[in-house]
Structure 1
């Protein structure tokens, strides 16, 4: 922890705002946590050891439809009173003059982020890992069970037309940031546009639901779901398509992103078991999930293209960006493999 201001945060300006809106503090120190690959996350600590988290947008290449701090703050503010596992929200700042961008403050939740297979393998036995995988599914079922209007989120998004908008919006983003040939992602965009299904389960969509976007306690229970920046209202099966992409399978380790290698450890349920559990507990029909899984590959590929462009332009904070460009290519290729094997004719091209 340092008293010098890390990139993207001005502690001299933040401290008086913090004392007025969050808690009385004499001084603050901060460090970047996570990879800083999208919204920037800081652990902020007072002189007496009290800690919070500050979230703000990236330093550059901010898409106009992304990185909305007010939306993140609103969703966790709506979910926290229900007992759903999210950090407690404290304050939102919409004044760019404080640290150079809008930001919000939430609880610092101390626990385990299951991204290192060696750590997870040493900490949790096979029985524990199975329970972690099952709880990952169960918490998603609970999220999808909420009626948005009952928790103040009726106007949080436009559920109808979600899939068409996602395909179009990410295709437009790919064109906006285009700096090299992306034939695999371009092909996926065309196939997805031709295969958009009728939406079946309208509700809350997390948008990036996976094991390493959760914090576990020492017993392996999920105590906080993180990274709500892509949350909206839409077809909630999109979360299952993305979860399938990340789940441990023979090809997912090629992605080298998220908790794919962790989910391949012995003990975790197979994807087939996870999907069956979701169907049983939610009552959902997962036939036709291929579309949502291909969509997940396409969206993440575009996101990584944007991150890599930001890295090339010097607008990233932290390490690990050098391989992101190649990961975007792998995602495009893997998405095409899923599409080619699909029972959905228009996905096969």
Structure 2
């Protein structure tokens, strides 16, 4: 198999999201040895928050990440956090790209940004490419490797990697629930259901801290992973560390399960599928949680709560993006109809609360 199948393709830079190529080129050549020629700059079309560009020199291919244009939340879109977590994880966790440059000098392109080496390999979305001719065992192996990589990340000794000051694990669960409920209320727009009952349930049923602490990715999905070019059943690199943290790993697992759509899920859930989790051979959410528990030694018996939290958090994230469009802070038409996804996710959280199931 080659990386051409399922390749992470780019597009021409979208209108209004251009970079000052000459300024980027000068900054990189002043800090990165061996660069020559003029880079070709294209844009990755996926992603609803931070913007990602391919920076292709004749002899080196790199990726640049920057915040979106327009007004930004005070604590959001911190490029240094993304850069630092990958830089510091690399010695113990090879499934991150190699970082090469960071700057907070906003005179270059108007915002801080960082650059990393591009990892060659397939990036897949809703389905397994038919050209791969995979069996269910092949698909299941990808699912297991994906689970195992999360388990490895969550059990790293983050203190030995110099990440002790990266977050505040004490009280992490309560801060997440309070924080996402607050963000929901700040981002709410006319016409959207309030979902006060979901917020109250999350507050009232909050479990005690598990006592486990680890590095949390925050957006752990197959479509945020570059697969191994030689064996796409393996995970080569994890991308999009925008909302990484140090905290209770079960909260991160709940986030991941909220994305993990199964083949037997109702149609509204399949409208939100972004990764091949429903492919024949993939583990169910229950099997995902159980394997994770076996690999980490963590108690996943109360994972239903974390799953509902993950659904609600996702609803809030999408509402924040939709609100930027409603308030005229972005003209990206993709964001105009996100209210439908917000409503579907809020209703799903309510349904899962009532059924008590994964």
Question: TM-score if structure 1 supplies the norm length?
Answer: 0.90
> In structure 1, what is the equivalent of residue 302 of structure 2?
288
Tell me if the contact between 1:85 and 1:224 (Cα under 8 Å) persists in the aligned partners: yes
> In structure 1, what is the equivalent of residue 37 of structure 2?
26
1:134 is aligned, of 135, 139, 144, to: 144
> In structure 2, what is the equivalent of residue 71 of structure 1?
81
Structure-2 separation of matches of 1:8 and 1:337: 42
Q: CA deviation at 1:212?
A: 1.1
Structure 1: which 4+ aligned runs deviate by more than 4 Å?
A: 1-6, 120-123, 313-319
1:172 is aligned, of 182, 193, 217, to: 182
What SS is found at the alignment partner of 1:58?
coil
> In structure 1, what is the equivalent of residue 6 of structure 2?
none
100-109 vs 7-16, which moves further: 7-16
**Any residues of structure 2 matched to 1:1-349 within 5 Å, and which?**
7-23=17-33, 24-46=35-57, 48=58, 50-117=60-127, 119=129, 122=132, 124-183=134-193, 185-200=195-210, 201-218=212-229, 219-220=231-232, 221-249=234-262, 250-251=264-265, 254-255=268-269, 256-260=271-275, 262-316=276-330, 320-342=334-356
What SS is found at the alignment partner of 2:159?
helix
What SS is found at the alignment partner of 1:279?
helix
Tell me if the contact between 2:318 and 2:338 (Cα under 8 Å) persists in the aligned partners: yes
Q: CA deviation at 1:12?
A: 2.4
Give CA deviations for 1:156-175 in whole Å, capped at 9, x if unaligned. Answer: 00001111111121222222
> In structure 2, what is the equivalent of residue 347 of structure 1?
none
Q: 1:3 to 1:329 in 2, by over 3 A?
A: closer
Tell me if the contact between 1:113 and 1:216 (Cα under 8 Å) persists in the aligned partners: yes
Structure-1 separation of matches of 2:190 and 2:139: 41
Q: CA deviation at 1:8?
A: 4.7
193-202 vs 26-35, which moves further: 26-35
Q: CA deviation at 1:126?
A: 1.6
Structure-1 separation of matches of 2:228 and 2:255: 24
> For the aligned residues, what is the CA RMSD?
2.3
Structure-1 separation of matches of 2:199 and 2:133: 41
Q: 1:252 to 1:11 in 2, by over 3 A?
A: farther
Structure-1 separation of matches of 2:325 and 2:130: 30
Q: CA deviation at 1:236?
A: 0.5
What SS is found at the alignment partner of 2:280?
coil
Give CA deviations for 1:248-301 in whole Å, capped at 9, x if unaligned. Answer: 3233762433535x1111111222222221111111111111111111111111
Q: Which runs of 5+ in 1 are unaligned?
A: 344-349
Tell me if the contact between 1:8 and 1:59 (Cα under 8 Å) persists in the aligned partners: no
Structure-1 separation of matches of 2:273 and 2:103: 30
Question: TM-score if structure 2 supplies the norm length?
Answer: 0.88
Q: Which runs of 5+ in 2 are unaligned?
A: 1-10
Q: 1:226 to 1:252 in 2, by over 3 A?
A: farther
